[in-house]
């Protein structure tokens, strides 16, 4: 089975690729474990010293010809992680919609052209929620995004569900909470501080927390999000039925 990971050069995408290399197989439509024959990473940038077993295709999600080349016509598994992150999509309205909405739509249409409908995992976000919220959010809580990024994610959830209803893909959207601790430098995500307040002091670097001690954050570790992505992928289509969107579990902590 061929696997494509968009955003495969990123924080979660590259870790997912290494986990899939280690696993070696993925469940197919018949529920049998099928050997992974190739993992292609699609991204605009890659880490140094990428594992030689991975194929890297450098390109922009909005370049459909490049996306189609990366898919190659016979990809059975698509993990769609490429995205302009929350703060970036809020700061650059045009770029956010272009990549997060138009890019996803283009990828979905390219996925339709595969020999068989691929299984398609989309990384949505808890940023789809906002406004007045209940104490506990569940899969039935109505999304009410208060930013462009959350709006783009919830629109794409509907696209993934509708393309699945039509049988063009076998899609699943996972709403990721904040993944912490993210290594490296701070990024443009609004929740970047959730890693920064742990990572920077460990490196002897000061970190300014932009929210109060009582601010709640819904957290999941890098290891657990990779497990969840693979688990959600492997669940049979019948498990999902008409509901193609779930919130990933996590722990809620206050900054203090």
Ligand X SMILES: NC(=O)c1ccc[n+]([C@@H]2O[C@H](COP(=O)([O-])OP(=O)(O)OC[C@H]3O[C@@H](n4cnc5c(N)ncnc54)[C@H](O)[C@@H]3O)[C@@H](O)[C@H]2O)c1
Question: 84, 107, 169, 232: which one contacts ligand X (CB under 6 A)?
Answer: 84
Question: 1, 43, 78, 104: which one contacts ligand X (CB under 6 A)?
Answer: 43
Window 233 to 252, contacts with ligand X (CB under 6 A): none
According to the 3-state scheme, what is the secondary structure of 147-211? CHHHHHHHHHHHHHHHHHHCCCCEEEEEEECEECCCCCCCCCCCCCHHHHHHHHHHCCCCCCCCC
Window 125 to 144, contacts with ligand X (CB under 6 A): 125
Helices 222-234 + 11-23 axis angle, to 10: 60
Choose the binding region for ligand X from 26-34, 176-184, 210-218, 233-241 (rule: CB under 6 A). Answer: 176-184
169 binds ligand X (CB under 6 A): no
Long-range CB pairs of 186-192 (<8 Å, 24+ gap) are 187/85, 187/87, 188/85, 188/86, 188/87, 188/88, 188/91, 189/85, 189/86, 189/87, 189/88, 190/86, 190/87, 190/90, 190/127, 190/147, 191/86, 191/217, 192/87
Which residue's CB is nearer to ligand X, number 58 or number 165? 58
Choose the binding region for ligand X from 49-57, 80-88, 111-119, 135-143 (rule: CB under 6 A). Answer: 80-88
60 binds ligand X (CB under 6 A): yes
Q: How far is the CB of 143 from ligand X (least distance, A)?
A: 14
Question: 9, 76, 96, 150: which one contacts ligand X (CB under 6 A)?
Answer: 9
Distance CA 118, CA 70 (A): 14
Choose the binding region for ligand X from 17-25, 43-51, 112-120, 201-209 (rule: CB under 6 A). Answer: 43-51
Q: Which of 14, 97, 149, 158 is catalytic?
A: 149
Size of the site for ligand X (CB under 6 A): 25
Window 96 to 115, contacts with ligand X (CB under 6 A): 99, 103
Other Cβ atoms less than 10 A from the Cβ of 139: the count is: 9
Name, in order, each residue with C-beta under 8 angstroms of 208's C-beta and a sequence gap of 6 or more.
none
- The H or E element spanning position 40 is strand 38-43
> Is 149 an annotated catalytic residue?
yes
Distance CA 255, CA 60 (A): 36
45 binds ligand X (CB under 6 A): yes
Question: 25, 44, 146, 216: which one contacts ligand X (CB under 6 A)?
Answer: 44
Active site residues: 149
Binding site for ligand X (CB under 6 A): 7, 9-13, 43-45, 60-62, 81-85, 99, 103, 123, 125, 176, 178-179, 187
């Amino acid at each position: 089975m061929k696997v494509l990971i968009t955003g495969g050069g990123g924080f979660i995408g590259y870790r997912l690729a290494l986990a899939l290399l280690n696993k070696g197989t993925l469940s197919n439509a018949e529920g049998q474990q099928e050997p992974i024959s190739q993992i292609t990473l699609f991204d605009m940038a890659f880490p140094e010293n990428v594992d030689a077993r991975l194929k890297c295709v450098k390109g922009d999600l909005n370049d459909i010809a490049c996306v189609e080349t990366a898919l190659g016509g016979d990809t059975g598994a698509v993990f769609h992680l490429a995205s302009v992150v929350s703060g970036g999509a809020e700061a650059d309205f045009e770029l956010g919609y272009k990549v997060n909405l138009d890019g996803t739509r283009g990828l979905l249409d390219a996925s339709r052209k595969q020999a068989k409908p691929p299984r398609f995992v989309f990384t949505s976000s808890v940023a789809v929620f906002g406004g007045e919220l209940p104490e506990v959010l569940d899969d039935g809580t109505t999304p009410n995004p208060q930013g462009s990024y959350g709006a783009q994610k919830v629109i794409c959830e509907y696209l993934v569900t509708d393309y699945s209803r039509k049988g063009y893909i076998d899609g699943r959207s996972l709403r990721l909470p904040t993944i912490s601790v993210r290594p490296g430098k701070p990024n443009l995500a609004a929740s970047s501080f959730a890693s920064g307040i742990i990572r920077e002091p460990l490196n002897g670097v000061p970190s300014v927390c932009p929210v109060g001690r009582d601010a709640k954050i819904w957290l999941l570790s890098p290891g657990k999000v990779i497990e969840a992505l693979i688990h959600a992928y492997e669940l049979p289509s019948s498990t999902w039925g008409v509901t193609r969107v779930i919130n990933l579990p996590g722990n809620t902590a206050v900054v203090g």
